[in-house]
Chain A
Amino acid sequence: MTAQIIDLVRENVIQGRVTRDDEGIEEGMVGQPGVTELIEEALDSGVNIADIITEGLTASMEAVGEKYENEEYYIPDMLASAEAVGVAMELLEPHLARNGIKPKGKILIATVKGDLHDIGKNIVSILLRGAGYIVKDIGHDAEPGDIVNAVREEKPDYLGLSALLTSTMVNMEEIIKALKENGLRDKVKVIIGGAPVTQEYAESIGADGYGADGFHAVAVVEALRSGKQPFS
């Protein structure tokens, strides 16, 4: 029973099916339980939560990553799978502490002041959730003051900042300065990304990491989490 539910979770994450109404990649799946229903069922029947996470969610995202590498999957496929994992983690979250499981980390994410281009930031959020992080999205055109306040209140482990325009990218430096002025800079790792951003720029403004794209952003957060230096 337990193994069967976990297998189904894995299969449905790979199919990118959040609920029973989702289509998935293969034909004829509509109506069968999706990840939401399966996780609810697993919780009801007392399946080990650590097993759901490692065997059901983490393993399936690895399989999805491979399919993408092999050019079998497109980005919308990856995002559907990551969204399914994000929803699963949300359902599991209230049960984590009781079972002695610590979430991988909390991430605050925003597109900086003056910039309305938030598609990239939204993709990064989904992928981070898919990788098992708790993500708090504070939207686009975010004032430095609001970001600093959110860091103070939410106490995230990581702060992700995005910009699409060269003219708004400069606001990232302002935010790092504001964090320093408020004594918060050493409380949070800052990771930046977006089309005009480069590794050199990230280093020059004193950010902790630079994500070249959504997948790389997740890899950078993972590296920071395990104490590695992403710039080396």
Chain B
Amino acid sequence: MAAFKAAGASVDKENRVRMSPGKVTDLIGKAPSEIRLCGRNGKHDILLGGKRVYAGTGGTALNVYEPETGQNHPATLEDLKKIARLVDKLDNIHLFLLPTYPNELSIEQVDVNRFFAGLDNTTKHIMGGVYTSEGLQQVIRMAETVAGSAEALRERPIISVITCSISPFVIDGEYGDMVVAAARSGLPLVCPSEPLCGATSPVTLAGNLVVQTVDSLMGVMLVQAVNPGMPVIFGSVATNTDLRDYKYIAGSVEMGLLNAAGAQMSQFYKLPYYATGGMTDSKTLDAQSGYESAITSLMCALAGSNFIHDAAGLMEFAMTVCYEKYVIDNEIIGMVMRAVEGIRVDDETLAYDLIKEIGPGGNFVTARHTRRFMRREHYQPALSDRNSREKWEAGGGKTTWEQAAGTVKAIMETTAAKLPDTVRGRILAEIKGIID
């Protein structure tokens, strides 16, 4: 409230904040239009902004689905570490958003342990929600230790934080304090909002988009009021609900439309964008899980969503993750990213001279041009089966998830990207409560 007042807003008796359109525009204008999210390894750095597209994991799920048994088990800290190891080796997943809540941990233990599990098992950027203010402070100290110093962490932010508002139009006390604390930390922050059609927003998509835009801008503005110039990401988790029972829906075509539209809104406000896509409501790895994940990811990506979160591993209303699905979604994201690249049209790719040279009845099999472009022009599948029936049967006639299970097993046999021993030792000694 104080921050909003200082920025020129009026606050009435019911704590309703009002601000003139000019001041709103000024405040939003203070937010940077590009944000660099860094990996522990610099090759994983990404620059959010414009129409650049990246995709990553998302959360926060409570269960892990095991396709072999068809059952879910409660997600544990061990699962989180293993998923981090897996994602570290899946090349199309650009960053690691902490995907699960380890059921065995108390709320006081959860922040440090989630971030440590991420930092210690992948060199990709770590993004995550925090549950307590104390937890947030410990997580920042941990990241500073990994980065080398407080300044080094701000220079190369290897972690970023997510805080949520309540749609429609509410910032509650506890989360508001967390936003303020995160804003003061100088680390990149996401302010997503999650309006649900017919529940917390109008049932129409346009009406939902109004609520989503206002709620997310409200977070952006609070952050700029507290700490002008602070990197903040405009976020959307907008979707519809099943109006027969008000379940949250994660794989609908409307969710794809809403989050693609959010990209256009963020481009209008010149803010980096965090979209939600690539999930499914299926309880198993079947056709539904594939088409829902692919359609929503693709829609977000083609609209220029800077960071599509939830794009890997999630199923069953975002309540459940699955190791094999990370591998399957890695393939979907690979294809989606190829679609984003589009078709390069220039003299070289049109190959007009080559076509003339080869002429009627000729072929392009031996042309140097073919070899020059064949690898980069066409996406090389990491999972999809393109064998003949005979060869596929000889290989065991595996379905997609069985194939993916093989990839999971192979990655788990590789060495994990652990933190350097000295850094690990210091973190374990200085920060209490980490379960190694």
Contact = CB atoms under 8 A, between A and B. Distances in A.
Interface size on A, as a range, is: 10 to 19
B107 A119 contact: no
Interface in A69-95: 71, 74-76
Contacts of A74: 243-244
B170 A119 contact: no
A204 interface: no
A71 B172 contact: no
Chain A interface secondary structure, helix, strand, loop or mixed? helix
Given A76-B198, A167-B107, A116 B166 contact: yes
B135 to A, nearest CB: 13
A76 B166 contact: no
A116 B243 contact: no
Interface of B: 107, 166, 170, 172, 198-200, 243-246
B172 A75 contact: no
A213 interface: yes
Q: What are the 8 tightest A-B residue pairs by CB atom distance, in nearest-first order?
A: A74-B243, A116-B172, A74-B244, A75-B243, A75-B246, A76-B243, A75-B244, A116-B166
Given A76-B198, A167-B107, A116 B170 contact: yes
20 contacts: A68-B244, A71-B244, A74-B243, A74-B244, A75-B243, A75-B244, A75-B245, A75-B246, A76-B198, A76-B243, A116-B166, A116-B170, A116-B172, A117-B166, A119-B199, A119-B200, A119-B246, A123-B246, A167-B107, A213-B245
Interface string A197-230: 0000000000000000100000000000000000
A167 B106 CA distance: 10
Contacts of A116: 166, 170, 172
Nearest to B200: A119
Interface in A99-121: 116-117, 119
Interface of A: 68, 71, 74-76, 116-117, 119, 123, 167, 213
A76 to B, nearest CB: 6
A167 B199 CA distance: 23
A123 B243 CA distance: 13
A119 B166 CA distance: 12
A150 to B, nearest CB: 22
Contacts of B170: 116
A68 B241 CA distance: 16
A230 to B, nearest CB: 21
A68 B172 CA distance: 35
A68 B245 CA distance: 10
Nearest to A167: B107
Contacts of B166: 116-117
A15 to B, nearest CB: 17
B77 to A, nearest CB: 17
A133 B222 CA distance: 43
A71 B245 CA distance: 11
Contacts of B200: 119
Contacts of B243: 74-76
Contacts of B245: 75, 213
A116 B168 CA distance: 12
Nearest to B198: A76
A24 to B, nearest CB: 17
Nearest to B244: A74
A213 B200 CA distance: 18
B319 to A, nearest CB: 11
A68 B246 CA distance: 13
Given A71-B244, A76-B198, A123-B246, 17 more contacts: A68-B244, A74-B243, A74-B244, A75-B243, A75-B244, A75-B245, A75-B246, A76-B243, A116-B166, A116-B170, A116-B172, A117-B166, A119-B199, A119-B200, A119-B246, A167-B107, A213-B245
A81 to B, nearest CB: 15
A117 B200 CA distance: 11
A113 to B, nearest CB: 13
Contacts of B198: 76
A213 B244 CA distance: 12
Contacts of B172: 116
A68 to B, nearest CB: 8
B120 to A, nearest CB: 26
Nearest to B199: A119
Contacts of A68: 244
B382 to A, nearest CB: 37
Contacts of A123: 246
Contacts of B199: 119
Contacts of A119: 199-200, 246
A71 B243 CA distance: 10
A62 B372 CA distance: 71
A119 B243 CA distance: 14
A117 B166 CA distance: 9
A123 B199 CA distance: 11
Contacts of A71: 244
Nearest to A115: B172
Which of the listed residues B107, B200, B244 has the most CB atoms from chain A within 10 Å of its own CB?
B244
Contacts of A167: 107
A96 B243 CA distance: 35
Nearest to A116: B172
A71 B242 CA distance: 12
A226 B172 CA distance: 41
B63 to A, nearest CB: 14
A123 B246 CA distance: 11
A76 B244 CA distance: 8
